[in-house]
Chain A
Amino acid sequence: MGSACHSWLCSVLCGAFVALTLLTGCYSYSYHQLHSLPPNDRIAVDRQIPISETQWSTVWGGIQSEWTPGPTSCDGRGAGRVETHFVWYSVPLLVLTLGFAVPAETTIWCITDEAPSEGP
């Protein structure tokens, strides 16, 4: 009886741990550039094409990674919105490697803001 209860509790705790660690992939942090002109709304970006890269930080943050998207990816206009979030396996890996290697995904959205030209 005691053993069955222990097994049941263990299963629940393991399930909860897995669910909670996987859910941490939903955490995200973002930056959105403001327009330089009033009313300084968030600048227009191409919402349809997020460009993402999974990066690894290792040796307890001693080795960090920097991602530089190619010059043509935003047609020379740069990124207007940047979001970083854990991937589903970030926390499990963090636990398994005791924090040695932690992946995260960075996503950018290209600026599509364009000033008007003079007409013909």
Chain B
Amino acid sequence: MKSPLLPFETGRRWKNWHATSGVGGPVQRIYIPRNLWSDGSRDEKVFLPGLAGLQQIVREAEQSHKRLRAIGSGWSLSNVAYGEDFLINTSRLTHWFVGFRTPTMLTQQFRAKSQRLVFAQCGVLIKTLSAYLEARGLSLSTSGASNGQTIAGAISTGTHGAANSFGSIQETVLAIHMVAEGGKHYLIQRETRPAVSQEFCTFLGAELKNDDDLFHAALVSFGSFGVIHGVLFEAAPLYWLERHVKRVDYSAVRNALATLDVSSLQLSGGTALPFHFEIVLNPYALAAGQGGAFVRALYKRPPGPTLPVQEPGHGQSIRSEDLVSVIGFFSDIAPGLVPMVLQDELEESFTETPPQGVLGTHSQQFGDTTPTNGGTSTEIGVPMEHVGNALAAILRVTSTENMAMPIAFRYVKQSDAFLAFTCFSPHTCTIEIPTIDSVRTRDGYERIWAEFRNLKIPHTFHYGQALPLHPYWLEVFGARRQSWLEARARFLSPSGRRMFSNAMIDALGLST
């Protein structure tokens, strides 16, 4: 029996990609599993050494009574992936395949889609998936605004875009391959919508778990059920997106913000809700004539024979900008300049498009992001009927002092995942407030969070962004939270639940 190549670093400090203050810290051990055996050889089943490495890491953590977390790209702006004991750098676990050649590995209902099914190890990046899938006539169904997350990290934290009719990235997932206590590994899928047969589990060497509750609990579980080795997901046939960006006054978007009634916006698609719809506000330019509202709408279009030409800049850019990057260059050293600088930055980033829009594939529209060196963000999910109150609460805080905080509204279909922060029906309005981390910023966030709590606005928080480290806000999940806890208690022993938790999970009251 070969052993996996399993180097590790000791006594290192870990920080996230955006080098956010307060995220990360010292780590006793960071493992770097690879798809290589210890003698440097590969396996016919490419993933096998990497899987064996994860199993061994779990066993070593158990024996040492250490807590264990897997880190992806370090994309999160919270400590969701961080733990002081053992971390796993999953970046080298990048094997993936597209399509099944053995129909019997799939259930009857998925055989027709066999060439659109993708199994990816945890460390494959969204940008890698997109590039190769689009070259094969396929596409991700949705993604975040940027593309540097690993597939497992993106799913585990509920990463989303603004696909209001589809949902978050986890909605594409059909099965989760999880390494849990004792290094035992399981393929978890819905009982009511199984995608694979026992034959595929035999290929992986995994135990099959057909269990709706377990699947819906483990889907967005931020590493709390074990270490995700891989996920099986469904890619969409290739599509293009036609992007329209326009700058208007706040009064023009006020109704659409809370109703998704876009009829007054004079969008190119008329009254139909675009596939992707988002509004970004400059809280300091909401008066008539100030043009402080930016609308970005993307419509699905059939792909043409040749790839759309990229023409960066001059209003033709088909690059999307992650909002954290947008405002990355200025901080709170000159608060008096914030309203003007914020407006300039937003106008630069949300350049108005020509009337015909700008065509691009999914990956062209949601592209690269550079690190911001101190960027942070908080994102709050609210039901549609509370969007107006939520905005008023935020504006009460931003009106007291100038803070470099644009307010972005996106709309995401309700997720089946028990603890997905996009839990409201039929849509969750996700309100993202990105900025640069500072004492002023943190104070601003605290005050916004307090406003929401005091006003009893039902709300949730994105796990991968700044959030209150307190369980009060998880009460809104109600029975879904209880189902998550029960599924975890069925799947893991008390010591397993401790091992796959961290300080943030403790603070949220989810590690019990």
Which A residues fall within an 8 A CB radius of B?
A: 35, 37-39, 41-42, 44, 46-49, 72, 75, 112-120
In the bound complex, CA of A72 to CA of B71 (Å): 22
List 11 contacting pairs A-B, 8 Å CB cutoff, sorted by A: A37-B134, A38-B361, A44-B127, A48-B14, A48-B74, A49-B32, A75-B34, A114-B94, A114-B95, A116-B118, A117-B96
User: Which of these, A35, A46, A118, contacts B101 with CB under 8 Å?
Assistant: A118
Instruction: List residues 118-132 of chain B with CB under 8 A from any CB of chain A.
Output: 118-119, 123-125, 127-128, 131-132
Q: Which A residues lie within 8 Å of B200 (CB)?
A: 120
Task: State whether the Cβ of B310 lies closer than 8 Å to any Cβ in chain A.
Answer: yes
Instruction: Check B91 against A41 for contact (C-beta < 8 Å).
Output: no
Which B residues fall within an 8 A CB radius of A?
A: 14, 17, 30, 32, 34, 36, 40, 46, 71, 73-74, 89, 91-92, 94-102, 105, 114, 117-119, 123-125, 127-128, 131-132, 134-136, 147, 200, 203, 307, 310, 360-361, 363-364, 367-368
Q: Which B residues lie within 8 Å of A119 (CB)?
A: 97-101, 114, 117, 119
In the bound complex, CA of A47 to CA of B96 (Å): 19
Query: In the complex, how many angstroms separate the beta carbon of A34 from the nearest chain B beta carbon?
Result: 10
Query: In the complex, how many angstroms separate the beta carbon of B4 from the nearest chain A beta carbon?
Result: 13
User: Which A residue sits closest to B96, measured CB to CB?
Assistant: A116
Instruction: Check B105 against A72 for contact (C-beta < 8 Å).
Output: no
In the bound complex, CA of A61 to CA of B509 (Å): 59
- If A39-B361, A39-B363, A41-B368 touch, whether A117 touches B131 (CB-CB below 8 Å) is no
Q: Which B residues lie within 8 Å of A115 (CB)?
A: 132
Q: Which A residues lie within 8 Å of B127 (CB)?
A: 35, 41-42, 44
Instruction: Give the secondary structure class of A's interface.
Output: loop
In the bound complex, CA of A118 to CA of B114 (Å): 12
Q: Which B residues lie within 8 Å of A117 (CB)?
A: 46, 95-98
- If A44-B128, A48-B30, A115-B132 touch, whether A120 touches B100 (CB-CB below 8 Å) is yes
Instruction: Check A41 against B124 for contact (C-beta < 8 Å).
Output: no
Query: In the complex, how many angstroms separate the beta carbon of A10 from the nearest chain B beta carbon?
Result: 30
User: Which of these, B94, B119, B128, B310, contacts A39 with CB under 8 Å?
Assistant: B310
Residue among B14, B98, B117, B203 having the largest count of chain A Cβ atoms under 10 Å: B98
Q: Which A residues lie within 8 Å of B367 (CB)?
A: 39, 41
Residue among A37, A39, A72, A120 having the largest count of chain B Cβ atoms under 10 Å: A39
In the bound complex, CA of A5 to CA of B89 (Å): 56
In the bound complex, CA of A116 to CA of B233 (Å): 14
Query: In the complex, how many angstroms separate the beta carbon of A36 from the nearest chain B beta carbon?
Result: 9
Q: Which B residues lie within 8 Å of A116 (CB)?
A: 96-98, 118, 132, 136
Instruction: Check A46 against B203 for contact (C-beta < 8 Å).
Output: no
Q: Which B residues lie within 8 Å of A120 (CB)?
A: 97, 100-102, 105, 200, 203
Instruction: Check A47 against B131 for contact (C-beta < 8 Å).
Output: no
Instruction: Check B36 against A75 for contact (C-beta < 8 Å).
Output: yes
Query: In the complex, how many angstroms separate the beta carbon of A72 from the nearest chain B beta carbon?
Result: 7
User: Which of these, B17, B71, B74, B134, contacts A38 with CB under 8 Å?
Assistant: B134
Query: In the complex, how many angstroms separate the beta carbon of A71 from the nearest chain B beta carbon?
Result: 10
User: Which A residue sits closest to B127, measured CB to CB?
Assistant: A41
Instruction: Check A47 against B102 for contact (C-beta < 8 Å).
Output: no
In the bound complex, CA of A119 to CA of B116 (Å): 11
In the bound complex, CA of A114 to CA of B92 (Å): 10
Question: Known pairs A35-B127, A75-B34, A118-B99. 15 more at Cβ < 8 A?
Answer: A38-B364, A39-B131, A41-B131, A41-B147, A44-B128, A47-B74, A47-B91, A48-B30, A49-B32, A72-B40, A116-B97, A116-B132, A120-B100, A120-B101, A120-B203
User: Which of these, A39, A112, A118, contacts B92 with CB under 8 Å?
Assistant: A112
Query: In the complex, how many angstroms separate the beta carbon of A52 from the nearest chain B beta carbon?
Result: 13
Query: In the complex, how many angstroms separate the beta carbon of A6 from the nearest chain B beta carbon?
Result: 33
Q: Which B residues lie within 8 Å of A39 (CB)?
A: 131, 310, 360-361, 363-364, 367
User: Which A residue sits closest to B203, measured CB to CB?
Assistant: A120
Q: Which B residues lie within 8 Å of A72 (CB)?
A: 40
Q: Which B residues lie within 8 Å of A47 (CB)?
A: 17, 73-74, 91
In the bound complex, CA of A52 to CA of B100 (Å): 41
User: Which A residue sits closest to B46, measured CB to CB?
Assistant: A117
Q: Which B residues lie within 8 Å of A112 (CB)?
A: 91-92, 94, 123, 125, 128
User: Which A residue sits closest to B119, measured CB to CB?
Assistant: A119
Q: Which A residues lie within 8 Å of B136 (CB)?
A: 116
Query: In the complex, how many angstroms separate the beta carbon of B221 from the nearest chain A beta carbon?
Result: 22
Q: Which B residues lie within 8 Å of A48 (CB)?
A: 14, 30, 32, 71, 74, 89, 91
In the bound complex, CA of A35 to CA of B131 (Å): 8
In the bound complex, CA of A104 to CA of B335 (Å): 37
Q: Which B residues lie within 8 Å of A41 (CB)?
A: 127, 131, 147, 363, 367-368
In the bound complex, CA of A49 to CA of B100 (Å): 33
In the bound complex, CA of A113 to CA of B94 (Å): 7
In the bound complex, CA of A112 to CA of B128 (Å): 9
In the bound complex, CA of A74 to CA of B318 (Å): 33
Query: In the complex, how many angstroms separate the beta carbon of B227 from the nearest chain A beta carbon?
Result: 15
Query: In the complex, how many angstroms separate the beta carbon of B497 from the nearest chain A beta carbon?
Result: 26
In the bound complex, CA of A47 to CA of B92 (Å): 10
Q: Which A residues lie within 8 Å of B131 (CB)?
A: 35, 37-39, 41
In the bound complex, CA of A44 to CA of B360 (Å): 21
Query: In the complex, how many angstroms separate the beta carbon of A111 from the nearest chain B beta carbon?
Result: 10
In the bound complex, CA of A46 to CA of B89 (Å): 9
